[in-house]
């Protein structure tokens, strides 16, 4: 029996979490990495489904995950909305495999995501297909596999019917696994761990195991569960028997206690493990290990979000699924780096805009202590690969949500299921918008798989509260401009989150003067947008405005800034010539923009932050005004230019004098601003104070001409697994070692030894240089080189960067064999 979450003023949610890949005890119940030794070809090739007689020797060898479009070339005439890359088309993948085992066993292929409309053929037969490019799915290949012989797996990906508002990628862009089991086995995503009662003294752990029986007779099974604490010690066990009907499935439900539980929390994300071993008589059929957390959270409609009994303000960001120059092909280290950069800024929550993420994203958030707004869809039309029109909205959604929730329900980081984003109303259901019936149906689909978390949606049109479409939902998120105000009046007892805020736009390292008169005034034009952080879109606001809003509206659980990183596509306000967005707090190359430090100074007020902008190379403005801003966690500061004091500034004090608009008055509350600084080259220094005590200082100097290259890797010790990455920041320096902020030199790269060039980028929204070329121009003095290890080759990697007229730079990395091999 499923018990619905009560919808009342305080919505309490208690859940246990994080599902990891199954760990088999026996060879006959094996989960295998299925990502190597594929061949790929782009284009319509219906003969590719054939077996060994088809010659694919001329096809490109690839290792999954793979995005066929990211290598380009960019098309200057193509739409900037989807990144100017060739993502629309058909691609084929083929792989030869010999499956060890015996007749009667089951063989499954588990795909984490294929863009789009994948069809999977086994030995020339259609074994399975799926209809949503962002969703994980399983293909039962059992009827088509020949054990002990060579088999051909062919996958067609067809993106021509997919619709997207950003760059979606193309191909098998997430991992694939092959699972070989006995006919009696744990179902796909069949272990579900919850924690229905938690106190400081003990927690109740509930483990539900769904067992499938493909035999022709009923089967008796024993499920033995052992709970391991974060150090790996067994702290509780349970053993229970059950009967699984022939050709069907059954759930074995077990409960046990854990004493003195360690809570999963943002600062200490403690993870337990439940090891479920399945036996029939004296035969061990297999084992699965599920990591989970013990924690409580709740929403109070008047006081916001609570974790483990204390109020927590959610400082969140929205992130699209692409990884910049690496494209849509998922890479764990690249995602980990993004989250590390966000967490350092003060992020404690992530919204997966606007689709189901790779499962590894949730694993990382579990381990790092980051809450996740888990979102399944953008719209319910062709962006969700729904080609069946309004009548197919609910059937499509239920099918996808079934996989979505079962896959992700064990993650402690997940705190809300979101069924859509910015969807209009369609009360009579003649269109593909929201209705009471559709949202009730989606809510019920979610609760059938998980009744422990709230179901919500992200909204953007206030007048939709005129219709009772939101009644079935537990909470809502609202995008921009305090649009949640009318919902608050209509539903005062339901929680609210600010699912998209800010949408400030800027280009890293680019500044234009004079300062804007309004948020949609873009001095210098829209191709590059000034990084004074005073420009936004017409529907959004600058960060400071949202900071104050969150302080005033404490009933809102927190904000999710649009966006943490720039992403490919949606280049507002320049959709004509740009290839990537301007919204990010960090640019597409992974280099923080100025406002990164504004967020850090506010969200991590206890950590020292002192950041000066703009750069101090303005030869054309000698004797003219160049405003100076400082982002700091201090409350006041004194600015010096070539040793001369330009006066103190204190947060919260708006300077006297006429202003074109009072919109920007709020910026004086969160920034230190010297609006009238007469430029002269030299040294700019700020000394920062907090409560009258000096907390630090920062210096910026006018740079001379570029003289050398500096390389700074984020990591120098890597795993030789063929997937690990080092992100190497490339900078031009002057003869005195100062960064040259305007340098645009073209840098040539050489990667030798146990690594290879994965990609390069400079964060310029207008750049159409190939991400895979062995050269890249600096943009405002910087670029990023991404180096990937070679599988199985432990040893040194030597990276050299050269440019005409600059002193070259070299950095050494070291790769090591993974501890447990591959």
By annotation, the residues acting in catalysis are 422, 500
CA proximity to 203, closest of 295, 118, 332, 71:
295
When computed from its CA atoms, the radius of gyration of the chain, rounded to whole angstroms, is 28
Strand partners, 698: 686
Taking the CA of residue 72 as centre, how many other CA atoms within 13 Å lie in the half-sphere pointing to its CB?
A: 19
User: Where does 479-533 have alpha helices with state H?
Assistant: 485-490
CA-CA distance, 191 to 713, in Å (whole number)? 40
CA-CA distance, 385 to 542, in Å (whole number)? 34
Tell me which residue has tokens 């104070």. Answer: 689
Contact 742, 713 (CB under 8 A): no
DSSP 466-487: GSGGGTT-S-EEEESTTTTHHH
Tokens describing residue 654: 């708006």
CA-CA distance, 591 to 764, in Å (whole number)? 11
How many Cβ atoms from other residues are within 10 Å of residue 417's Cβ? 27
Contacting residues for 694 by C-beta, under 8 A, at least 6 apart: 687, 688
Q: What is the CA angle 242-243-247, rounded to 5?
A: 140
CA proximity to 328, closest of 34, 572, 83, 118:
83
**DSSP 3-state of 117:** coil
- Strands lying side by side in the sheet with 628-632: 610-613, 628-632, 672-674
Plot region of 696 (φ>0 → left; ψ -120 to 50 → alpha; else → beta)? left
Phi, psi of 503 (to 5 degrees): 55, 40
> Dihedral of the CA atoms 369, 374, 378, 380 (nearest 10)?
180
The H-or-E segment that residue 545 falls in is helix 543-552
CA 226 to chain centre: 32
Burial readout 485-521 (b: 16 or more C-beta within 10 A, e: otherwise):
ebbbeebeebbbbbbbbbbbbbbbbbbbbebbeebee
CA-CA distance, 13 to 519, in Å (whole number)? 39
SS3 per-residue string spanning 569-607: CCCCCCCCCCCECCCCCECCCCCECCHHHHHHHHHCCCC
């Amino acid at each position: 029996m499923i018990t619905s979450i009560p919808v009342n003023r305080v919505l309490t949610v208690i859940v246990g979490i994080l599902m990891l890949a199954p760990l088999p005890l026996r060879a006959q119940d094996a989960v295998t990495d299925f990502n190597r030794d594929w061949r790929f070809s782009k284009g319509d090739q219906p003969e590719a489904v054939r077996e060994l007689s088809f010659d694919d020797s001329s096809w490109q060898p690839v290792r999954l995950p793979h995005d066929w479009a990211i290598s380009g070339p960019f098309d200057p005439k193509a739409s900037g909305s989807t990144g100017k890359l060739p993502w629309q088309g058909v691609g084929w993948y083929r792989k030869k495999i010999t499956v060890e085992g015996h007749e009667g066993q089951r063989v499954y292929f588990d795909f984490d995501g294929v863009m789009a409309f994948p069809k999977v053929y086994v030995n020339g037969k259609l074994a399975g297909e799926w209809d949503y490019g962002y969703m994980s799915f399983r293909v039962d290949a059992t009827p088509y596999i020949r054990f002990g012989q060579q088999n051909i797996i062919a996958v067609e990906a067809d993106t021509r019917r997919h619709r997207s508002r950003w760059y979606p990628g193309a191909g098998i862009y997430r991992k694939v696994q092959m699972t070989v089991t006995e006919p009696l086995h744990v179902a796909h995503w069949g272990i579900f761990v919850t924690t229905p009662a938690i106190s400081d003294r003990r927690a109740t752990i509930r483990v539900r195991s769904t067992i499938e029986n493909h035999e022709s007779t009923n089967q008796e099974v024993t499920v033995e569960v052992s709970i391991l604490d974060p150090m790996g010690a067994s702290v509780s066990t349970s053993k229970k028997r059950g009967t699984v009907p022939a050709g069907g499935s059954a759930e074995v439900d077990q409960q046990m206690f854990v004493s003195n539980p360690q809570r999963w929390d943002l600062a200490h994300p403690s993870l337990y493990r439940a090891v479920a071993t399945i036996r029939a008589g004296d035969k061990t059929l297999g084992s699965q290990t599920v990591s989970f957390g013990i924690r409580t959270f709740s929403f109070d409609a008047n006081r916001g979000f609570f974790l483990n009994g204390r109020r927590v303000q959610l400082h969140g960001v929205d992130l699209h699924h692409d990884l910049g120059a690496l494209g849509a092909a998922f890479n764990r280290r690249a995602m980990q780096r993004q989250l590390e950069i966000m967490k350092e800024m003060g992020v404690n929550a992530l919204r997966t805009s606007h689709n189901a993420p790779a499962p590894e994203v949730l694993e990382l958030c579990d381990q790092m202590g980051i809450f996740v707004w888990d979102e399944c869809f953008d719209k319910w039309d062709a962006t969700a690969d729904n080609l069946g029109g309004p009548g197919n909205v609910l059937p499509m959604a239920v099918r996808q949500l079934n996989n979505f929730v079962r896959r992700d329900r064990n993650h402690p980081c997940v705190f809300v299921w979101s069924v859509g984003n910015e969807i209009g109303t369609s009360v009579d259901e003649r269109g593909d918008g929201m209705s009471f019936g559709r949202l009730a149906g989606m809510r019920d689909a979610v609760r059938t798989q998980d009744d422990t978390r709230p179901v919500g949606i992200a909204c953007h049109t206030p007048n939709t509260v005129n219709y009772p479409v939101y009644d079935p939902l537990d909470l809502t998120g609202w995008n921009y401009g305090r649009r949640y105000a009318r919902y608050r009046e209509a539903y005062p007892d339901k929680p609210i989150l600010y699912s998209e805020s800010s949408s400030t736009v800027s280009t890293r390292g680019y500044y234009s003067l004079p300062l804007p008169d309004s948020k949609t005034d873009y001095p210098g034009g829209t191709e590059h947008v000034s990084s004074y952080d005073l420009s936004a879109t017409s529907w959004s606001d600058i960060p400071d405005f949202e900071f104050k809003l969150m302080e005033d509206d404490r009933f809102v659980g927190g904000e999710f800034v649009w966006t943490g990183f720039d992403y490919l596509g949606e280049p507002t306000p320049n959709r004509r010539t740009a290839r990537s967005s301007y919204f990010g707090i960090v640019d597409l190359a992974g280099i923080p923009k100025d406002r990164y430090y504004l967020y850090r100074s506010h969200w991590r007020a206890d950590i020292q932050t002192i950041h000066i902008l703009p750069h101090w190379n303005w030869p054309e403005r000698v004797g003219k005004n160049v405003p100076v801003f400082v982002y700091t966690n201090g409350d006041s500061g004194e600015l010096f230019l070539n040793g001369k004091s330009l006066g103190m500034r204190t947060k919260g004090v708006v300077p006297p004098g006429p202003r074109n608009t009072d919109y920007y008055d709020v910026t004086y509350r969160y920034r230190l601003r010297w609006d009238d600084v007469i430029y002269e080259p030299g040294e700019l220094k700020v000394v920062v104070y907090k409560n009258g005590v000096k907390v630090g200082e920062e210096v910026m100097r006018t740079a001379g001409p570029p003289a050398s290259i500096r390389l700074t890797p984020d990591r120098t010790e890597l795993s030789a697994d063929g997937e690990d990455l080092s992100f190497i920041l490339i900078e031009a320096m002057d003869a005195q070692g100062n960064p040259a902020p305007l340098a645009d030199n073209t840098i040539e790269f050489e990667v030798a030894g146990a690594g290879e060039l994965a990609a390069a980028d400079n964060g310029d929204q207008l750049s159409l240089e190939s991400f895979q070329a062995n050269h890249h121009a600096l943009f405002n003095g910087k670029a990023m080189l991404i180096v990937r290890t070679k599988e199985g080759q432990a040893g040194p990697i030597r990276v050299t960067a050269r440019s005409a007229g600059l002193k070259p730079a070299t950095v050494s990395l070291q790769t090591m064999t993974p501890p447990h091999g591959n």
